[in-house]
Structure 1
Amino acid sequence: GNGLIDMTRRANLQIRGVRDESWRPLLDRLLDLGLVDHDARREGARMMMVAPDWREGDDSHRIARQLLDRLDELPDLPGKMGFVIDAGAAPLLSGEAGDFRIERARDGGLILRAERRAQGVPVDSGGEVDALLALARWFVESDGARAGRMARHDAPLPDWATGTAEVAAPRPRPVPGAWDGGMAYGLPFGQIDARHLLDAPAIRLTPWRMLLAEGQVPGLSADAADPLIHVEACPGAPTCPQASVETRDLARQLAPHVAGRLHVSGCAKGCACAMPADIVLTGRDGRYDLAFHARAGSAPVRPDLTATDLLAHFGAC
Structure 2
Amino acid sequence: MKEQGVKEKRSSASPRVRGWCPGAWRPMATGDGLLVRVRPPLGRLTRARMLSLCEAAETWGNGLIEQTRRANLQLRGVSEAGWPELMAFLVEHGLAAPDAEGERRPALLLAPDWREGDATHEAARLLERRLADWPALPDKWGLALDAGPAPVLRDVPADLRLERSREGGLLVRADGREWGTPVADVEAAVELMTRLAHWFVDAGGLAAGRMRRLTAPLPGWAAADTEPAAAPQASDAASGLTPGPHPAGRVVGLPFGRATAASLRAAMCDEAITGVRVTPWRRLLLEGEGANSNMKDGAPDDGLIHDARDPRLAMDACPGAPFCAQASVATHGLAQSLAERRSEGPGESAAGRLHVSGCAKGCARSGPAEVCLTGRDGRYDLILGGRADDTPVATGLGESDAIEYWETRDALRL
Q: Report the TM-score, using the length of structure 2 for normalisation.
A: 0.73
- Which runs of 5 or more structure 2 residues have no equivalent in the other structure? 1-60, 295-301, 343-350
Aligned-partner Cα distance in 2 for 1:180–1:161:
37
Report SS of the residue matched to 2:180: strand
Alignment partner, residue 262 of structure 1? 354
The equivalent position to 2:193 in structure 1, one of 118, 132, 141, is 132
Q: Map Cα deviations across residues 108-138 of structure 1 (whole Å, 9 max, x no partner).
A: 0111101110000101212111111111111
Q: Structure with the greater relative contact order (CA < 8 A, sep ≥ 6): 1 or 2?
A: 2
Tell me whether 1:280 sits opposite 2:364 in the alignment. no
**Structure 1 residue 21, shift from structure 2 partner:** 4.5
Tell me whether 1:301 sits opposite 2:361 in the alignment. no
- Which runs of 5 or more structure 1 residues have no equivalent in the other structure? none
Pick which of 167-176 and 186-195 moved more: 167-176
Q: How do residues 1-317 of structure 1 correspond to structure 2 at under 5 angstroms?
A: 1-125=61-185, 126-171=187-232, 172-173=235-236, 174-198=241-265, 200=268, 201=273, 202-215=275-288, 216=291, 219=302, 220-258=304-342, 259-315=351-407
Of all paired residues, the percent bearing the same amino acid is 49
- Paired residues of 1:85 and 1:101 also in contact (CA < 8 A): yes
**Structure 1 residue 302, shift from structure 2 partner:** 2.0
- Paired residues of 2:135 and 2:201 also in contact (CA < 8 A): yes
Change (3 A) 1:95 1:20: closer
Alignment coverage as a number of residue pairs: 317
**Structure 1 residue 269, shift from structure 2 partner:** 0.6
Aligned-partner Cα distance in 2 for 1:55–1:276:
32
Aligned-partner Cα distance in 2 for 1:262–1:235:
15
Report SS of the residue matched to 1:87: coil
Which consecutive segments of 4 or more residues in structure 1 shift more than 6 A? Answer: none
Q: Map Cα deviations across residues 13-37 of structure 1 (whole Å, 9 max, x no partner).
A: 1011223453233222221232211
- Paired residues of 1:54 and 1:61 also in contact (CA < 8 A): yes
Aligned-partner Cα distance in 2 for 1:5–1:46:
23
- Paired residues of 1:42 and 1:71 also in contact (CA < 8 A): no
Aligned-partner Cα distance in 1 for 2:329–2:70:
25
- Paired residues of 2:106 and 2:137 also in contact (CA < 8 A): no
AA of the residue aligned to 1:36: A
**Structure 1 residue 168, shift from structure 2 partner:** 0.8
Aligned-partner Cα distance in 1 for 2:64–2:170:
38
